[in-house]
């Protein structure tokens, strides 16, 4: 997740900084919710919208993975070979 050496092969230094910053943001968000746990009702609308958006993204990305695995027969890097059409010996 934070292996900079592996990312150097594929990304520029600026892109690596952006990737690491975006990966650490959920940690800061969780810490912020812990600090502000007594005022959670004030953040409820934001949490509901964020939760709905995350759930919609989860459903959409899983459908896209299923479509990709049907297209490639489950033998591509993106789907991990989880297609039902792949025979396992």
d(C-alpha 32, C-alpha 75), whole Å: 41
Residue 14 within a domain = yes
pTM reported for the whole predicted model: 0.50
Residue 27 within a domain = yes
pLDDT(56) > 80: yes
pLDDT(79) > 80: no
Query: By the 8 A CB rule, do 35 and 43 touch?
Result: no
Residue 10 within a domain = yes
Structure tokens at 80: 């991990």
Q: Which helix (H) or strand (E) holds 35?
A: helix 13-35
Residue 6 within a domain = yes
- C-alpha closest to that of 43 among 53, 52, 33: 33
Q: Please count the other Cβ atoms lying within 10 Å of the Cβ belonging to residue 79.
A: 20
Query: If you average pLDDT over residues 7-30, what whole number do you get?
Result: 90
Q: Tell me the average pLDDT of the chain.
A: 80
Query: If you average pLDDT over residues 4-15, what whole number do you get?
Result: 90
Domain range for 22 = 1-37
């Amino acid at each position: 997740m934070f292996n900079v050496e592996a990312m150097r092969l594929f990304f520029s230094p600026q892109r690596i900084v952006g990737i690491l910053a975006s990966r650490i943001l959920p940690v800061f968000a969780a810490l912020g919710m812990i600090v502000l746990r007594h005022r959670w009702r004030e953040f409820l609308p934001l949490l509901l919208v964020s939760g709905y958006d995350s759930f919609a993204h989860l459903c959409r990305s899983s459908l896209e993975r299923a479509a990709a695995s049907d297209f490639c027969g489950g033998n591509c890097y993106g789907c991990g070979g989880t297609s039902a059409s792949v025979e396992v010996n």
